[in-house]
Structure 1
């Protein structure tokens, strides 16, 4: 097997998962469906969302959760009001100050999601958020279908090299965004 092969396999698997995600979104238009998109890397997630918007036949609206948001349901409701989007993707859960409150409240009002949000809801989460979701919102998690997106070895090595080069050249400005990216 050549060194190139794992990268190609990872790319094929990501593309297949992305196609499955697009199909799940399209087939769920007009009804509530909770989809968990598991991805540990913000840059990969952003590329996947961009690609998904290209291949998906429905309009995807993105909601970036704010650090101060206390409930996911209210954040969605305030963002879209009476408007009924075709699909909503939620990003930024990793930056929420008190994620346990958001997850617990989402679990408590899960029936309200189903009653009032007639669209697929895609939550982009990492492994740590997924663990908390299982622990704090098991009923909500049981409704979800999950798609996993892994970074290729080549992309991970390139990312580590880039961060190391920035660190050694004293160009790495450590901030919350960089921390979350790492």
Structure 2
């Protein structure tokens, strides 16, 4: 584990070497956030669904070798979700997680409402979630975050990391899925 905090936002792109470096940096930031007394907010930008899915699976596999304080939870937002604080709280109330990954912000029917609520509750996020919270956005979603929740965004320290690909990926970055759950990486295909 690194002795200094890594950057806190991540990008995945056309360059697979860049993607691997960003993945390593993200895993390191999650490991570094273990045992913190306030939130470790990490922002990831990815515009391509299949690429995001591959990066999440690779991240979960990589995190299996880290000494995390608990399970990694993956929370997939749905169209009607407008209270991220409540969703994260419900997901983590039993035990402190190793991290919470939040996917599907582009599926929320009113992202502005979600972001404004996050901004209003930024101090509650900071105080009540002393673990890595990894939010995945499309470029458009990230622009909305910067516009509607810039105080919340500042918790992350102002840097962001981007995942992008011009080849073989299409559709939304992450489709809306089921309820919050603990994810394990998929087995061999």
> Under TM normalisation by the shorter chain, which class is it?
0.7 to 0.9
1:13 equivalent to 2:18? Answer: yes
Q: Which has the higher contact order (CA 8 A, sep 6+)?
A: 2
Q: 1:16 to 1:179 in 2, by over 3 A?
A: closer
Measured in 1, the distance between the counterparts of 2:76 and 2:15 equals 27
* Match 1:148 to one of 129, 150, 162: 162
Say which structure is richer in helix: 1
* Match 1:97 to one of 100, 109, 113: 109
Could you list the per-position Cα deviations for residues 49-79 of structure 1 after superposition, in whole angstroms to 9, with x for gaps in the alignment?
1101111213421011121112110111122
Tell me the TM-score normalized by structure 2: 0.75
Tell me the TM-score normalized by structure 1: 0.78
Q: 1:159 to 1:134 in 2, by over 3 A?
A: closer
Q: Which runs of 5+ in 2 are unaligned?
A: 1-13, 176-189
Structure-to-structure mapping, 1:26-175, within 5 angstroms: 26-31=31-36, 32-56=39-63, 57=66, 58=68, 59-144=71-156, 145-151=159-165, 153=166, 156=167, 158-159=168-169
2:102–2:136 Cα contact (<8 Å) kept: yes
CA RMSD of aligned residues (A): 2.1
